[in-house]
Chain A
Amino acid sequence: MGRKIVVTSGKGGVGKTTVVANLGIALALSGVTVAMVDGDIGLNNLDVAMSCENRIIYDIGDVVQKKCRLKQALIRDNHLDNLFLLPSAKYMPQESINPQAFGAVVNELAREFDIVLIDCPAGIEQGFHRAVSPAQEALVVTTPHISAVRDADKVLGLLTTYNISSVGLVVNRVRGDLSAKDTAMNASDIARLLRVELKGAIPEDDKIGFAGTFAETGSERCYTAYRMLADCVLGKSNRVYDCERPYQSFFSRLLKKRG
């Protein structure tokens, strides 16, 4: 049985979908089979982030309504043979897919794939419950902004009421230039405040916002950051990308190390 990991945040716009898409690619590059499920019914964007919006024939709504088989609805990635996407239902009301039906689809995927990544919708209502219910692990995504961290804290509290065995934090859109100058908080500070293990820090990159994935933009920094996040998820390493490093001189790094 594969691992079922939900990527959630509470606050919208912090980059959950971007993290799912890029983490999915990074995990697939590591050699595991990955299925990404768009749990954001009605406001789906994972297909756009993966540049496969024109290849959708069936979606999760069709699978739940038994209009097609699960395999027919899965879309293979444009470049990677071991990466698949299950698109969300575009024209269905939120309540038409209940948590039990959603969980059954996720469990079926977990029988076929090593890792199932669930892209959770923003908010903490029905959509959140549906996406989190079938998961065993969670990655909470935040940005360094106070409002996003506050919402992440609330979500961490909510996750304790679910059957989730491991929770990690991903700090997205980190401005290494600012944290290197002590102008903004770094990812470790945020993890310390939230009392949760830091699994990844992703540097801010304007190109990702427009193109969706590091594979499309060729962003080397994001490539490295997501590969390190994938290694953390796979348990191969616990190193997190240092977003400040490109902005620090050798001596300032040495001074920081010495405290």
Chain B
Amino acid sequence: MKNTNSNTAFLRLKRVLLNDKENLPNGLMRVLRADIDGVLSSYFDYPTETLKIEIDLDSSGRYCIRIEAMAERIKTIKVL
């Protein structure tokens, strides 16, 4: 990328927009965690405290969501 004024402005704006996105809405993690826990616990026997959720931003401003949990076993489910 050439070092022009327009590129400098582009990169600065990109940085500003990324900084804005880093602040997740209040309570989002709590609600997301509760919902994911609800889904996972329907299918797996797992201790809730092993559930880890991470939200990062990549260099293009997209959210990378990582969900990790350690389950003891899969629940017996009847598929209709």
* Complex CA distance for A129 and B28, rounded to whole angstroms: 22
Tell me whether A153 and B20 are in contact (CB under 8 A).
Answer: yes
**Does B16 sit at the interface, judged by CB under 8 A?**
yes
A154-B20, A193-B17, A195-B61 known; A146-B6 Cβ under 8 A: no
Q: Which of A79-87, A102-110, A178-186 sits within the interface?
A: A178-186
Give chain A nearest CB distance to B18 CB in angstroms: 10
Residue A207 at the B interface, CB < 8 A? no
- In the complex, what residues of B have CB within 8 A of residue A150's CB? 13, 16-17, 20
CB distance from A252 to the nearest CB of B (A): 14
Give the Cβ gap from A163 to chain B, nearest Cβ, in Å: 20
Q: A150-B16, A154-B20, A193-B17 are in contact. Are A185 and B61 (CB under 8 A)?
A: no
A193 touches B14 (CB 8 A): yes
Q: Is A19 an interface residue (CB 8 A)?
A: no
Are A182 and B7 interface neighbours, CB within 8 A?
Answer: yes
In this assembly, does B66 line the interface, its C-beta being within 8 Å of a C-beta of chain A? no
| Interface residue ranges of A115-163 to B (CB < 8 Å) | 146, 149-150, 153-154
Please tell me if A189 contacts chain B, counting CB pairs below 8 Å.
Answer: yes
Contact between B13 and A193 (Cβ–Cβ < 8 Å)?
yes
CB-defined contacts of A189 to chain B, threshold 8 Å: 6, 10
Which residue of chain B lies nearest to A195 when distances are taken between CB atoms in the complex?
A: B61
Which residues of the other chain, B, contact A182 by a CB distance below 8 angstroms? 2, 4-7
CB distance from A178 to the nearest CB of B (A): 8
Report the separation of the CA atoms of residues A193 and B16 in the bound assembly, to the nearest whole angstrom. Answer: 11
Q: What B residues does A183 contact at CB under 8 A?
A: 4-6
CB of B5 to closest CB in A, whole Å: 5
Q: Which residue of A lies closest to B13 (CB)?
A: A146
Given contact pairs A184-B9, A189-B10, enumerate 10 new A-B contacts (beta carbons under 8 Å).
A150-B17, A150-B20, A153-B17, A153-B20, A154-B20, A182-B4, A182-B7, A183-B6, A185-B9, A194-B17
14 contacts between A and B (CB under 8 A): A146-B9, A149-B17, A150-B13, A150-B16, A150-B17, A154-B20, A182-B5, A182-B6, A182-B7, A183-B6, A185-B13, A190-B13, A193-B13, A194-B17
Which chain A residues have a beta carbon within 8 Å of chain B's beta carbons? Answer: 146, 149-150, 153-154, 179, 182-186, 189-190, 193-195
